[in-house]
Amino acid sequence: SACLVGSEMCIRDRLATNHHVIKKGGTIEAITEQGATFRVTRVLAEDPEADLAILQLDARNLSFLQMGDSAAIAPGKRVAVYGSPVGLAGTLSEGIISAIRREPAERLPNNGELLQTTAPVSPGSSGSPLLDADGNVLGIITLSSGGRAQNINFAVPVQALRSLKVRAGTPGLSARETHTDLSTPEGKDDAIADTRF
């Protein structure tokens, strides 16, 4: 299960987002659309190749979304993205799954296994959930084609998050403390300026 916190998703008191959002370390804060702030205490699991990370939040009893089944998705399925493009919290956009990419790609996350969507995203949408019509999470927005291409955006399938979630719950998994504050203008600029998005 997952919950919306800003443009990321959290698994009860855990937050799922992109690895490229948190890779510089530091103090990280999650800010809800209503302005509530939760401190991220540590990185529980990270997978740079899939561009995913699970973070421990200093919070309890948050609302959550169910994770869907990204393995059963076909092109043409209607989807929505809920996040904070260019810092505009609570933004909802919609589109369709335009393709399922399952090709070896050394420059793409998750070994090129991505959901391609026409749902509009912008810098700052990284970590946003890709939702089906029932509100189930199908993927985590990771990158956009940018440039002259329009509405060619990608999400890591939620199945990759399920695998990382299992690792995050494993006793003895190495975790790291966080010290980058994304609530500051400098932290936001770093996240938005990431060349992968």
Write out pLDDT tens, residues 7-29: 566 656 788 999 998 887 677 88
126 is catalytic: yes
pLDDT digits (tens, 9 = 90+) for 54-74: 988 887 777 777 889 988 899
Q: How confident is the model at residue 140 (pLDDT cuts 50, 70, 90)?
A: very high
* Tokens linked to 114: 């991505």
**Set 7, 84, 98, 126: catalytic member:** 126
Residues 35-53 have a mean pLDDT of 89
- pLDDT at 177 exceeding the cut of 90: no
What is the model's pLDDT at position 172?
39
19 is catalytic: no
**Set 7, 51, 93, 132: catalytic member:** 51
What is the model's pLDDT at position 51?
94
What is the model's pLDDT at position 48?
92
20 is catalytic: yes
- pLDDT at 42 exceeding the cut of 70: yes
Q: What is the mean pLDDT of the chain?
A: 79
**Set 20, 125, 128, 132: catalytic member:** 20
pLDDT digits (tens, 9 = 90+) for 92-121: 999 999 999 987 767 778 888 999 999 999
Which one is predicted more confidently, 99 or 30?
A: 99
